[in-house]
Amino acid sequence: MALLDELKALDVNVDEGLERMMGNSSLYERMLVKFVKVMNDLEVSPDFDNNDYAEIIEKTHTIKGASGNLSVTPVYEAYTEIVNLLRSDKPEEAKEILRNILPVQKEILACIEKYV
Amino acid sequence: MSESRATILIVDDVEINRTILAEVFKDDYNILEADNGLDAIEMINGNYGISAVLLDLIMPGINGLEVLKEMNKSGTIENIPVFLITAAESTKALMEGYQLGAVDVISKPFMPNFMKCRINNIIELYEHRNKLEHIVAEQVERLNSLNQSMVETLATVIEFRDCESGEHVKRIGRLTKILMTQVSEMYPEHHLPKKEIDKIVTSSILHDVGKISIPDRILNKPGRLTEEEFEIMKQHTVKGCEILQNIPDIIDEGVYKYSYDICRHHHERWDGRGYPDGLSGDDISIWAQVVSVADVYDALTAERVYKKAFSHEKAVQMIHDGECGTFSPKLLKAFDEVLDEIIVKK
């Protein structure tokens, strides 16, 4: 359970996530590893074109859904806001949030990867 | 996996979401997964016995809304409940999803327990409904066939008095079906759906019920009828209608209007010299005209107490030459189109 304890310290809502997995902690850990892969595949960086970001909306939407379901709360909250801002045509503000979440996200992903 | 368990199809392009849903439902259901819309459609249309679909709206390629549209086209949306997997912000797509027949929404992040209750309830409801629909369809089918056999029995009994074996009504039904279908296909103004043609066919076998009221000495007279006898014989049309009016319960409402019309008007003539109302041209309904041709053709090609059977070719010739009544040229054209079919079926 060391991974889950560490994630708790990084504000991941482990209890809620476990509940969603019907209490199955090994499944939860497997899904967290999948999550790292999803994040690496999608890789959203804040240098996207302010006039053409339909693809970014799709990617951030996917991240929002996956992080929400795994209760990776800091990532979920940030991407929820990012998706909302992009949908309301506020790319600059979205980028600001993205820049702030990237280091946090990096730390969480690194923590999970340690245990793979 | 147990055979009796219901099957849920989970459609989401993100594996994490699919896996979580599968985990929630795997104890109670067989689980199928699709990571794109195309596979989902294939599975829904395939023989998997799917009881519910959990459908992600936003997917690359064929998205959830398009899957729903496809289900509307194929009609599967009527029997399979669809739950939309969605994040709260896409209200417009959600609304469209509901309009396309989705029953409920599963919001991300998932709330497993509520989700389970809602989905279980709706699946049970649908299964119950599907079962009831099936039972009702079976009952309707049984009623219809019972009804049909009562009508056939009635027609056959009456025909026995006419020294016929019961084959005449069957042949009339067959001829009417062939000719009516041809007319419906050839002439847009006479186009009728198959269901209506079936009703006309049922009605056609009742065209002579009025003969029950005609005395044996006239009905089965081997020689030519006197003018007075013929007047009595002509009464079988209106008498038939009286009989139909008195037995409304065995005749389906949709069939009644055709039966009544055919009974009364199958001896009208295109030139207006028929009976009992002397209608002419298209004042005579197309179904009465069709049964009239079928009746004449069958009378000519069958042996009767007063005559021998004519050959198919001779009968067709006589009908064209106006020796047994006059008919609409359009109807005769349709008749010519189906001659081969008529001869095979006879």
Considering only A25-34, B156-165, B284-293, which range has the smallest mean pLDDT? B156-165
pLDDT for res B345: 47
Percent of chain B with pLDDT over 90: 70
Pick the residue from chain B with its C-alpha nearest to A28.
B20
CA distance B32 to chain A (A): 18
How many CA atoms within 13 Å lie on the side-chain side of B56?
31
- CA nearest neighbour of B59 among B32, B31, B90, B26: B90
Kindly state whether B17 is in contact with chain A, defined as any CB-CB distance less than 8 angstroms.
Answer: yes
**Distance (Å, whole) CA B206 – CA B145:** 16
How many CA atoms within 13 Å lie on the side-chain side of A61?
22
Confidence grade of residue B34 (pLDDT, cut at 50, 70, 90): very high
How many CA atoms within 13 Å lie on the side-chain side of B40?
31
**Distance (Å, whole) CA B88 – CA B225:** 85
Position B346 pLDDT exceeds 70: no
Confidence grade of residue B1 (pLDDT, cut at 50, 70, 90): very low
Kindly state whether A15 is in contact with chain B, defined as any CB-CB distance less than 8 angstroms.
Answer: no
Tokens of B184: 């419906």
pLDDT for res B92: 82
CA distance A100 to chain B (A): 22
Q: Which of B12, B14, B55, B92 to mutate to test the interface with A (most CBs of A within 10 A)?
A: B14
> Interior CA angle at B261 toward B259 and B263, to 5°?
65
- Which candidate from A21, A76, A84 shows the least CB-CB separation from B20? A21
pTM over 0.80: no
Kindly state whether B222 is in contact with chain A, defined as any CB-CB distance less than 8 angstroms.
Answer: no
Question: Which of the following is catalytic: B211, B307, B314, B333?
Answer: B211
pLDDT digits (tens, 9 = 90+) for B41-69: 999 999 899 999 999 988 888 999 999 99
pLDDT digits (tens, 9 = 90+) for B218-269: 988 888 899 999 999 999 999 999 999 988 777 778 889 999 999 999 999 9
Position B86 pLDDT exceeds 90: no
Q: For residue B88, what are the contacts with CB-CB under 8 A and spacing of at least 6?
A: B107
**Strand, helix or coil at B275?**
coil
Q: Does the beta-carbon distance from B108 to A70 stay under 8 Å?
A: no
Percent of chain B with pLDDT over 70: 97
Kindly state whether B323 is in contact with chain A, defined as any CB-CB distance less than 8 angstroms.
Answer: no
Considering only A36-40, B17-21, B92-96, which range has the smallest mean pLDDT? B92-96
Confidence grade of residue B2 (pLDDT, cut at 50, 70, 90): very low
Kindly state whether A27 is in contact with chain B, defined as any CB-CB distance less than 8 angstroms.
Answer: yes
CA distance B99 to chain A (A): 23
CA distance B101 to chain A (A): 24
Average pLDDT over residues B153-171: 80
Asked if B298 contacts B309 with a C-beta cutoff of 8 angstroms, the reply is: no
Pick the residue from chain A with its C-alpha nearest to B85.
A65
Asked if B102 contacts B72 with a C-beta cutoff of 8 angstroms, the reply is: no
> Interior CA angle at B342 toward B337 and B346, to 5°?
175
- CA nearest neighbour of B172 among B143, B144, B151: B151
Average pLDDT over residues B70-87: 93
Percent of chain A with pLDDT over 90: 89
Kindly state whether B108 is in contact with chain A, defined as any CB-CB distance less than 8 angstroms.
Answer: yes
- Which candidate from B14, B23, B110 shows the least CB-CB separation from A27? B23
Query: Please, which residues 59-88 of chain B have a Cβ atom closer than 8 Å to chain A?
Result: 60, 87
Is-catalytic flag, B211?
yes
Pick the residue from chain A with its C-alpha nearest to B108.
A65
